Structure 1
């Protein structure tokens, strides 16, 4: 229940500021109000909804918030890519090469679920190689957004193709042990995909938001 509502909010099915009616949600999802209440409490802890006394529960997810979350992720993951480029072993390179091969296959066959799983494994491998456990913990709070964003974006064939090329280019920088290039490519990949997701979800509401390298 929590995951279904989270995905719906991040995918833009509920708009920023929209009031959520617990009873209507329960009827729509075919459950009692108890799991809906539990899900809303979790969503509030994640910053995706807010509760106002005597008014109700409202969605708290705007184009600006989505972009800010992505910029935070880009800052952290680009540093981790920089560090990983200095630390990866030949075994790490072989592991990432296999992931790239699997991602290419999943991209070619439009295997969305496999691609989302591989995408997360790819980033997770870079995190592990970097050894930056503190930075990785800082990412924990928005993994739910990253996961939902991947599902939404990778449903589009053009995004699948572009995302794969970007992941491949990051791998090439890592395998070449070029920290600066790995950092730059990771940051650009995350920012570009985030802006694409903001446009996908918010449309005209995303106009006026900008972030340039």
Structure 2
């Protein structure tokens, strides 16, 4: 059975998320239609939707991938920390044994990715998404999806900072350990601390205080 075809919106969003299109890049209907093999009408509708969600911005008559200024970045991390912390707390209460096992396996498997920032970034997204789903709260998952779409507007991953990948995995391990123990308070605190450390690393990357591996 063939997998369903992705719509134009999903294709463009994934390209932004994977860094194919970076902040400031100009998106042209005809180029996108040719790239993805679809007509210009769904591309146009997708671009309008992405602009409404503030993932694209106007530059004269052109649409470009939006970027986040310092204040927007800080606001995003505040919201992300609180929502992610809530997701971890709920996961500690409601995750099935199978979901907890998947989280533990992710931490163990991701050790092999240390030193590859892009692979680690993809694995990191999968890990956080699994926690969102393990919260068993559909409304929280929807809000976190919106937050993570905005995270795609960052030109680089904080996991590109020297040593951050190993630290992040240790933090993931602590989060999963709390979920395994069904300790909702500690799980929430651990995930909020994890996001806070990621934000500090990003600020240091942006200021040039720490070295990037990419």
What TM-score, normalized to structure 1?
Answer: 0.69
Instruction: Answer yes or no: is 1:123 the counterpart of 2:128.
Output: yes
* Partner of residue 101, structure 2: 94
Change (3 A) 1:2 1:89: closer
* Partner of residue 186, structure 2: 181
Q: Hey, what's the Cα distance between the residues in 1 that align with 2:146 and 2:111?
A: 29
Matches within 5 A, 1:1-213: 2=12, 14=24, 41=48, 43-48=50-55, 50-51=57-58, 61-107=68-114, 110-147=115-152, 149=154, 151-201=156-206, 203=207
Larger relative helix fraction: 1
What TM-score, normalized to structure 2?
Answer: 0.68
* Partner of residue 207, structure 1: none
Number of residue pairs the alignment of both structures matches:
186
Offset of 1:43 from its aligned partner?
4.9
Per-residue CA deviation, residues 24-52 of structure 1 (Å, 9 max, x unaligned), is xx8xxxxxxx8x98886455323245448
Offset of 1:106 from its aligned partner?
1.2
Change (3 A) 1:79 1:71: same
* Partner of residue 8, structure 2: none
SS in structure 2 opposite 1:157? coil
Contact 1:47 1:60 in 2 (8 A): no
* Partner of residue 210, structure 1: none
Contact 2:161 2:205 in 1 (8 A): no
Structure 2: which 5+ runs fail to align? 1-10, 32-39, 209-214
Change (3 A) 1:7 1:115: closer
Contact 1:48 1:61 in 2 (8 A): no
Change (3 A) 1:7 1:199: farther
Offset of 1:125 from its aligned partner?
1.4
Q: Hey, what's the Cα distance between the residues in 1 that align with 2:117 and 2:17?
A: 19
- Report the aligned-residue RMSD: 3.5
Q: Hey, what's the Cα distance between the residues in 2 that align with 1:22 and 1:112?
A: 26
